[in-house]
């Protein structure tokens, strides 16, 4: 559906009740992420330009410098599937492998609707 974003609000999807959220963590030795920071920037920039990508971000946990959080929002499963086949994803995977992550844990969730945050 069409995207409408009034000033100061989040994206609202008209005509569509579904979106995908991808959430995950990459756990590495503290400081190891510095050696792949450029690869993180490259994949973020390339992915944000892809059709169907709403949000794509990495962040280092403020309490654990070895924990990299992944957060993505996609318009459709097809868009996410296409993203996973992109050459920059293979390059990113190879870069992450060089720092020998302790673990990589990523899940996708299909979201039926967005609701206001309770106050």
Domain 17-111 falls under CATH 3.30.70.100: yes
pLDDT per position as a tens digit, 73-94: 999 999 999 999 999 999 999 9
Residue 32: φ, ψ to 5°: -65, -30
| 47 touches 56 (CB < 8 A) | yes
Among 52, 94, 93, which Cα is nearest to 73's?
52
Tens of pLDDT, residues 12-71: 444 455 789 999 999 999 889 889 999 999 999 999 999 999 999 999 999 999 999 999
The domain segmentation of the chain, as residue ranges, is: 17-111
What's the predicted TM-score (pTM) here? Answer: 0.80
Three-class secondary structure of residue 109 per DSSP: strand
């Amino acid at each position: 559906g069409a995207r409408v974003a009034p000033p100061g609000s989040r994206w609202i999807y008209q005509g569509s009740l579904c979106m995908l959220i991808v959430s995950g963590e990459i756990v590495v030795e503290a400081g190891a992420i510095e050696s792949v920071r450029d690869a993180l920037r490259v994949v973020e920039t390339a992915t944000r330009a892809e059709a169907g990508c709403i949000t794509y971000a990495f962040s280092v946990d403020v309490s654990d410098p070895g924990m990299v959080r992944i957060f993505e929002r996609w318009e459709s499963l097809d868009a996410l599937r296409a993203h996973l086949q992109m050459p920059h994803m293979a390059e990113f995977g190879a870069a992450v492998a060089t720092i020998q992550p302790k673990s990589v844990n990523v899940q996708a969730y299909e979201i039926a609707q967005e609701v206001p945050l309770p106050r």
